[in-house]
Amino acid sequence: MQAADQAQVTIPEIGAVWPGQGGIYAGFMPARNGDEGYHLVLGDELGRFEWGQYGDDSPATSLIDGRANTLALIESGGEYPAAIAVHKHEADGHTDFYLPAAAELYEIWLNLNGKLAGWVWSSSQRSALSAFLMLFVDGSQFYYAKGGELRVRPVRRFIQ
């Protein structure tokens, strides 16, 4: 989408379907570490997947940048089922979905509090054995064994 086209886009109410963007509007992710802020579009749940490669350190170490984590996992050539599922996801013609980082999941919970449920994987590794997750019922963030299967929700960025 061209910058001129983006300027004409109306941002919907948080929690509403964002026509043509591949999901619901999940709020604004504030600027961090010199990167600009962006709008989060949350796609439909894709199912339950393992995070992958239990026992191996991965390149997905950012707590705030899920896009960088997902790309690092995909480019590593490893077996990361959750990241692979979101990377293959397409909605409304968009193919730039990724597995959200721990901070992005928390921002989504803050904005959509009470509208989502269940345990959801982040793209943020905690250790060679575990990765971070979010419980959307109450906003708790924990870690879980990478070999376990949890829900996966793709996100994408919209920068205006």
pLDDT tens profile 129-149: 999 999 999 999 999 999 999
Per cent of the chain over pLDDT 90 is 88
pLDDT tens profile 62-97: 999 999 999 999 999 999 999 999 999 999 999 999
CA pseudo-torsion sign 70, 64, 128, 49? negative
**Three-state DSSP class for residue 105:** helix
Instruction: Give the separation between CA 106 and CA 19, rounded to whole angstroms.
Output: 24
The pLDDT of residue 7: 58
**Three-state DSSP class for residue 134:** strand
The pLDDT of residue 70: 98
What range defines the domain where residue 19 resides? Answer: 3-158
Tokens of 93: 């013609």
CB count in 10 Å sphere of residue 11: 14
User: The pTM is what?
Assistant: 0.92
Can you tell me the mean pLDDT for 4-19? Answer: 83
Instruction: Give the separation between CA 155 and CA 16, rounded to whole angstroms.
Output: 15
Tokens of 44: 């439909």
Count of the separate structural domains present in the chain: 1
The pLDDT of residue 32: 87
Residue 100's nearest CA partner among 111, 18, 10 is 111
Q: Is the pLDDT of residue 153 over 80?
A: yes
CATH label of the domain that carries residue 77: 3.10.100
Phi first, then psi, for residue 120 (nearest 5°) are -130, 135
Tokens of 119: 């345990």
pLDDT tens profile 112-129: 988 999 999 999 999 999
Instruction: Give the separation between CA 113 and CA 86, rounded to whole angstroms.
Output: 23
Tokens of 83: 């990241």
